[in-house]
């Protein structure tokens, strides 16, 4: 009974993905399932459509910039959160994680108004700043878990063996934080690449990232191009999640809170 | 050590500045046809209560409540299997199938439902796409991964020995569930339910694409007013409403979980 | 209660291996062994928490192998007690009665009696987390006894208690079991608990029963080297039989009372360190040795002595010692003829 229910529910979660991939190989512009034949023309369309090319570059710039900033910032914050003598540690933690709970439309419209006031509407600066804020909680949380599991005795041992604080950080602390850093990086990249609501408000045809370009395309066209692009996203995501589960043991990351 | 927080504080300050701008504009008078604003006013918040918007608010609350209930029912068995399966491959499979949608962006996931609900795969006996039914299906699908993870975390904290103890005392599997597993997983049910409810209150891509303009939730009104009508003050008032509702609910979650912990 | 050829595999690991075990009505039986010996799996098989890979399980002559745990009518006390944290003490004890659909008045009466039996009649409204470990343990016992199960299973019930409390609980457990007269199977890794509590002990190792017998029999006549090693300290000496009751060890000849050995055969003799004495000089059943290690323990000193052929013997010497002990000292060990256990 339970097994059947679980299989059906997992199917409910997975079937749309399968449909997207199947439709992406459809030879005609009319959506049909199962596909009437096999064709790669929509993949070709994805690669050659100029707006997607532009958006892909934007995505790389925005995600690359945001992650490059958020990873060190979040790591330092996680270290401070666990190690510094802080008053109201739980308040600090809540504040650092707060961008997670702000509705996308509120943050998006807020950044839009802020950017307009600063005259930054045409640049990617606001987009990157918003993405940094949105991925920061994921970095802080992942790294924080690693910091908490770090035995301070190991750092004291390094110091007793003659390592300077900086050398201790480089040779002991940082290597031990690697799983948390890696998980944080993974989350940050995935969240930023897929961010849509906030980005919709603060990007235009020149700066828009892939999810926004896809949204515009879906609203205006019905051919399976988006199915092809979605399939690429899906396959990439599955590979990343599978690798992460293999090397990070996601069960430990997600079930121990 | 405390200085290490400084860069993060700067980031959060920018974020706070955005929300402060939102708040300020929600109190400014809207001048139609321009991005200039007049003086301070509460008119935008009165506008929220206009009949056409009240419908959106009512729909939002009804859809959020239904989504929460359905997601709880659908997520529980999967979470239970995830928390209790002894086999590592099975656990990995469930986890990957759960997390993959979680990591696949909103647009990809919603577009998938446009295909499924739009009579591409099967012909539905009742219209699904561009109806509240269809939006509901999409919202449940969207909330499932979060709910599964929260419930599985709660369930994996319950020592299976309690279930064995109940069985040894004569409780059938169903009674074990009713009298032991379910009550012990209540903290997860409450926080999962509230979090999903709060998130659904401000859901945007799902009603936007699956509602096709016919189903409007609060976030869709914000987008319509802000990006299509350039009524930033009106949109800001609605966004503040969504923000306030979400924060109120999450405060309740915090209280509930803190209360359980002590 | 009877197990017939029960086997349980976890993947490639055989936790319980073709186990045959009968428990008599009203008996208190201990399953004793080191961790990983299969004793907890055996308990889980009896309780119905895991199905056997092969074999049958009988209760009162009835085959219950395929019966789920909740229909077996057994009482189980778990190592962690497993008191339901969301229910009061009263409701915890009432759990089994409510599953049996007893009327409310009957439930109240029997829960009251059960709590009285374990001297906790006033704790009914409290939550498990408000009680001490010893009290929780007594609640767990009351909960398992209140619906008068046919068999009581105890999984290391004393392991979570500190030492003082454990000794008190041990006596109390025995008294309650005697008073109720219930067949009890008790899993433990603590030999003192097993020796002090049970009518019979089954010593387990690697999924099999090494020896089954009364505590005194197990201690005084261990059937195998494993049992001799596991129950109490012992020294095992290898030698060769010179006659039916003579064994040559380290150049000396020892008489072994009551033995019927085949001359020329290799023999292993076990002896408890408290039975070995320091002798003033050579004599019957005396071997020469040299002190190799000393561990002072207050009431006695543990002496490791090395025999002429390199074998080591453990000797407990009562304090004050008859001679000043020092490493390197030459000593004579008297090994009484009736103290040997011949291992098979």
Residue A179 predicted with pLDDT over 70 = yes
Q: Which of A70, A109, A214 sits opposite B235 (nearest CB)?
A: A109
Reported as a single tens digit per residue, the pLDDT across C305-336 is 999 888 999 999 988 888 888 899 999 999 99
* Residue B261 confidence (pLDDT): 47
Reported as a single tens digit per residue, the pLDDT across B136-146 is 999 999 999 99
Q: Which residues of chain B neighbour C68 with C-beta distances below 8 Å?
A: 167, 172-173
* Residue B260 confidence (pLDDT): 56
Asked if the C-beta of C122 comes within 8 angstroms of chain B's C-beta atoms, the answer is no
Work out the average pLDDT over A123-142. Answer: 93
Count Cβ atoms below 10 Å from residue A256 Cβ, excluding itself: 10
Share of chain A above pLDDT 70, in %: 96
Q: Look-up: residue for tokens 């915890």?
A: C92
Reported as a single tens digit per residue, the pLDDT across A18-47 is 889 988 998 887 777 777 788 888 999 999
A157-179 in b/e form (b: 16+ CB < 10 A) is ebeeeebeeeebeeebbeebbeb
- C-beta of residue C315 within 8 angstroms of C-beta of residue C273: yes
Residue A125 predicted with pLDDT over 80 = yes
Residues in chain A: 257
Residue A177 CA to residue C110 CA, distance in Å, equals: 56
Q: Which of A2, A72, A116 sits opposite B81 (nearest CB)?
A: A2
Residue B180 predicted with pLDDT over 90 = yes
Where does A173-224 have alpha helices with state H? 174-176, 178-194, 197-202, 210-220
Reported as a single tens digit per residue, the pLDDT across C202-233 is 999 999 999 999 999 998 888 888 898 888 87
Q: Which residues of chain C neighbour B170 with C-beta distances below 8 Å?
A: 70-71, 73, 96, 99-100, 147
Listing DSSP states for C294-337 in one string gives EEE-SSEEEEEEEETTS-EEEEEEESSPSS---TT-EEEEE--G
End-to-end CA distance of chain A: 29
List of long-range contacts for C57-65, beta carbons under 8 Å, 24+ apart:
C57/C2, C57/C3, C57/C4, C57/C6, C58/C1, C58/C2, C58/C3, C58/C4, C59/C1, C59/C2, C59/C150, C59/C151, C60/C1, C60/C150, C61/C2
- Token duo for residue A66: 């945001």
Asked if the C-beta of C84 comes within 8 angstroms of chain B's C-beta atoms, the answer is yes
Q: Which of residues 115-174 of B touch C (CB under 8 A)?
A: 159, 161-162, 164-173
- C-beta of residue B107 within 8 angstroms of C-beta of residue A219: no
Residue C108 CA to residue A229 CA, distance in Å, equals: 67
B-C contacts at Cβ under 8 angstroms: 66
Tell me which of B2, B22, B87 to substitute to probe the interface with A (most A C-beta atoms closer than 10 Å). B22
* Residue A240 confidence (pLDDT): 82
Reported as a single tens digit per residue, the pLDDT across B13-49 is 999 999 999 999 999 988 887 777 778 888 888 888 8
Q: Which residues of chain B neighbour A190 with C-beta distances below 8 Å?
A: 103
Reported as a single tens digit per residue, the pLDDT across A195-223 is 999 999 999 889 999 999 999 999 888 88
Residue A215 CA to residue A226 CA, distance in Å, equals: 9
- C-beta of residue A140 within 8 angstroms of C-beta of residue A147: no
Q: Which residues of chain B neighbour C84 with C-beta distances below 8 Å?
A: 162, 165-166, 180, 184
Strand partners, C30: C186, C201
Share of chain B above pLDDT 70, in %: 98
Give whole-number Cα distances, C304 to B216, C220, C235, C311, in Å.
86, 22, 10, 10
Q: Which of B8, B74, B239 sits opposite A109 (nearest CB)?
A: B239
Beta carbons of A19 and B120 less than 8 Å apart: yes
Reported as a single tens digit per residue, the pLDDT across A68-123 is 999 999 999 999 998 888 888 888 988 898 888 899 999 999 999 999 999 888 88
Q: Which of A69, A84, A105 sits opposite B2 (nearest CB)?
A: A84
Reported as a single tens digit per residue, the pLDDT across C151-206 is 999 999 888 788 788 888 888 888 888 888 999 999 999 888 899 889 999 999 99
Q: Which residues of chain B neighbour C82 with C-beta distances below 8 Å?
A: 159, 161-162, 164-165
Beta carbons of B170 and C147 less than 8 Å apart: yes
Residue B138 CA to residue B140 CA, distance in Å, equals: 6
Beta carbons of C85 and B165 less than 8 Å apart: no
Residue A24 CA to residue A45 CA, distance in Å, equals: 11
* Residue A257 confidence (pLDDT): 41
B78-94 in b/e form (b: 16+ CB < 10 A) is bbbbbbbeeeeeebbeb
Reported as a single tens digit per residue, the pLDDT across B32-41 is 877 777 788 8
Orientation angle between helical segments B51-84 and B132-156, nearest 10 degrees:
40
Beta carbons of B167 and C49 less than 8 Å apart: yes
* Residue B96 confidence (pLDDT): 86
Asked if the C-beta of C109 comes within 8 angstroms of chain B's C-beta atoms, the answer is no
User: Chain B: nearest CA to C5, how far in angstroms?
Assistant: 23
Q: Which residues of chain C neighbour B172 with C-beta distances below 8 Å?
A: 68, 70
Reported as a single tens digit per residue, the pLDDT across B123-138 is 888 888 999 999 999 9
Q: Which residues of chain B neighbour C86 with C-beta distances below 8 Å?
A: 183-184, 186
B208-218 in b/e form (b: 16+ CB < 10 A) is bbbbbeebbbb
Task: Name the pLDDT band for C287 (thresholds 50, 70, 90).
Answer: very high
Higher pLDDT, A250 or B221: B221
Q: Which of A106, A234, A256 sits opposite B104 (nearest CB)?
A: A234
Query: Which of A35-39, A135-139, A166-170, B42-46 is least confident?
Result: A35-39
Helix (H, G, I), strand (E, B) or coil at C27: coil
Beta carbons of C82 and B173 less than 8 Å apart: no
A-B contacts at Cβ under 8 angstroms: 258
- C-beta of residue B205 within 8 angstroms of C-beta of residue A82: no
Beta carbons of A245 and B96 less than 8 Å apart: yes
Work out the average pLDDT over C255-278. Answer: 89
Positive or negative torsion for Cα B207, B213, B217, B219 = positive
Listed in sequence order, the residues at least 6 apart from C57 whose beta carbon sits closer than 8 Å to its beta carbon are C2, C3, C4, C6, C45, C46, C63, C64, C65
Reported as a single tens digit per residue, the pLDDT across C83-104 is 999 999 999 999 999 999 999 9
Listed in sequence order, the residues at least 6 apart from A91 whose beta carbon sits closer than 8 Å to its beta carbon are none
Residue B259 CA to residue B261 CA, distance in Å, equals: 5
Residue B246 CA to residue B201 CA, distance in Å, equals: 7
Chains in contact with B, counting 3 or more C-beta pairs less than 8 Å apart as contact: A, C
Work out the average pLDDT over C54-79. Answer: 93
The overall longest dimension of chain A from CA atoms, in Å, is: 71
Task: Name the pLDDT band for B110 (thresholds 50, 70, 90).
Answer: very high
Beta carbons of B171 and C99 less than 8 Å apart: yes
Do A and C have ≥3 inter-chain CB pairs under 8 A? no
Residue B172 predicted with pLDDT over 70 = yes
* Residue A32 confidence (pLDDT): 72
* Residue A199 confidence (pLDDT): 95
Residue A256 predicted with pLDDT over 80 = no
User: Chain C: nearest CA to B251, how far in angstroms?
Assistant: 24
């Amino acid at each position: 009974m339970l097994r059947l229910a679980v299989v059906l529910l997992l199917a409910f979660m997975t079937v749309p993905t399968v449909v997207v991939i199947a439709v992406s190989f459809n030879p005609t512009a009319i959506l049909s399932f199962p596909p009437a034949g096999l064709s790669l023309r929509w993949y070709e369309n994805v690669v050659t459509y100029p707006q997607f090319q532009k958006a892909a570059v934007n995505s790389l710039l925005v995600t690359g910039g945001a992650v490059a900033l958020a990873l060190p910032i979040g790591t330092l914050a996680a270290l401070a959160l666990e190690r510094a003598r802080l008053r109201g540690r739980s308040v600090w933690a809540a504040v650092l994680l707060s961008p997670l709970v702000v509705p996308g439309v509120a943050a998006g419209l807020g950044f839009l108004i802020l950017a307009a006031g600063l005259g930054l509407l045409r640049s990617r600066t606001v987009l990157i700043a918003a993405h940094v804020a949105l991925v920061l909680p994921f970095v802080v949380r992942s790294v924080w878990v690693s910091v908490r599991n770090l035995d301070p005795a190991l750092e004291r041992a390094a110091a007793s063996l003659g390592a300077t604080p900086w050398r201790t950080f480089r040779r002991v602390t940082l290597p031990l934080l690697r799983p948390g850093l890696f998980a944080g990086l993974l989350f940050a990249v995935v969240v930023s690449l897929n961010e849509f609501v906030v980005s919709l408000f603060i990007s235009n045809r020149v700066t828009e990232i892939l999810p926004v370009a896809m949204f515009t395309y879906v609203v205006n066209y019905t051919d399976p191009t988006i199915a092809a692009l979605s399939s690429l996203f899906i396959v990439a995501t599955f590979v990343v999640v599978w690798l992460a589960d293999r090397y990070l043991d996601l069960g430990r990351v997600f079930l121990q809170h | 050590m405390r200085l290490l927080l400084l860069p993060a504080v700067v980031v959060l300050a920018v974020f706070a500045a955005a929300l402060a701008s939102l708040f300020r504009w929600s109190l400014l008078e809207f001048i139609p046809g321009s991005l200039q604003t007049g003086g301070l006013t509460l008119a935008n918040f009165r506008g929220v209560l206009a009949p056409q918007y009240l419908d959106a608010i009512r729909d939002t609350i009804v859809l959020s409540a239904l989504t929460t209930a359905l997601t709880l029912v659908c997520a529980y068995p999967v979470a239970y299997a995830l928390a209790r399966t002894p086999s590592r491959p099975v656990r990995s499979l469930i986890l990957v199938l759960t997390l993959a949608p979680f990591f696949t962006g909103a647009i990809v996931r919603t577009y998938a439902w446009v295909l499924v609900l739009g009579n591409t795969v099967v012909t539905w006996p009742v219209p699904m796409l561009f109806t509240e039914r269809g939006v509901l299906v999409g919202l449940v699908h969207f909330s499932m991964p979060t709910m599964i993870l929260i419930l599985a975390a709660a369930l994996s904290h319950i020592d299976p020995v309690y279930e064995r103890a109940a069985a040894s005392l004569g409780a059938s599997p169903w009674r074990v569930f009713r009298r032991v597993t379910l009550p012990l997983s209540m903290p997860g049910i409450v926080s999962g339910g509230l979090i999903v409810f709060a998130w659904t209150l401000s859901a945007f891509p799902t009603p936007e694409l699956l509602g096709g303009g016919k189903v409007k939730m609060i976030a869709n009104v914000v987008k319509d007013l802000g990006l299509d009508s350039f009524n930033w003050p009106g949109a800001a008032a609605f966004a503040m409403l969504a923000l306030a509702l979400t924060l109120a609910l999450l405060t309740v979650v915090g209280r509930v979980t803190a209360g359980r912990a002590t | 209660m009877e197990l017939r050829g029960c086997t349980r595999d976890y993947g490639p690991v055989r936790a319980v291996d073709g186990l045959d075990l009968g428990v008599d009505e009203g008996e208190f039986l201990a399953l004793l062994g080191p961790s990983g010996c299969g004793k907890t799996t055996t308990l889980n098989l009896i309780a119905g928490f895991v199905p056997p890979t092969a074999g049958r399980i009988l209760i009162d002559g009835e085959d219950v192998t395929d019966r789920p745990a909740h229909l077996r009518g057994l009482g189980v006390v778990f190592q962690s007690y497993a008191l339901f944290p969301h229910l009061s003490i009263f409701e915890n004890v009432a759990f089994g009665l409510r599953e049996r659909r007893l009327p409310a008045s009957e439930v109240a009466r029997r829960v009251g009696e059960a709590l009285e039996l374990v001297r906790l009649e006033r704790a009914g409204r409290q939550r498990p987390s408000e009680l001490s470990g010893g009290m929780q343990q007594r609640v767990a016992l009351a909960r398992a006894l209140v619906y008068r199960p046919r068999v009581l299973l105890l999984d290391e019930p004393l392991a979570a208690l500190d030492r003082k409390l454990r000794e008190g609980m041990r006596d109390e457990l025995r008294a309650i079991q005697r008073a109720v007269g219930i067949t009890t199977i008790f899993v433990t890794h603590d030999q003192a608990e097993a020796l002090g509590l049970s009518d019979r002990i089954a010593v387990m190792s690697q999924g099999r029963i090494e020896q089954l017998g009364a505590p005194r029999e197990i201690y005084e006549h261990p059937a195998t080297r494993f049992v001799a090693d596991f129950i109490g300290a012992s020294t095992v000496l290898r030698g060769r039989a010179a006659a039916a009751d003579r064994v040559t060890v380290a150049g000396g000849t020892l008489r072994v009372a009551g033995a019927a050995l085949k001359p020329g055969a290799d023999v292993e003799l076990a002896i408890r360190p408290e039975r070995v004495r320091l002798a003033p000089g050579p004599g019957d059943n005396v071997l020469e040795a040299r002190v190799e290690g000393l561990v002072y323990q207050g009431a006695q000193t543990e002496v490791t002595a090395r025999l002429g052929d390199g074998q080591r013997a453990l000797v407990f010497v009562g304090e004050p010692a008859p001679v000043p002990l020092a490493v390197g000292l030459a000593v004579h060990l008297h090994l009484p003829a009736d103290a040997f256990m011949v291992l098979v």
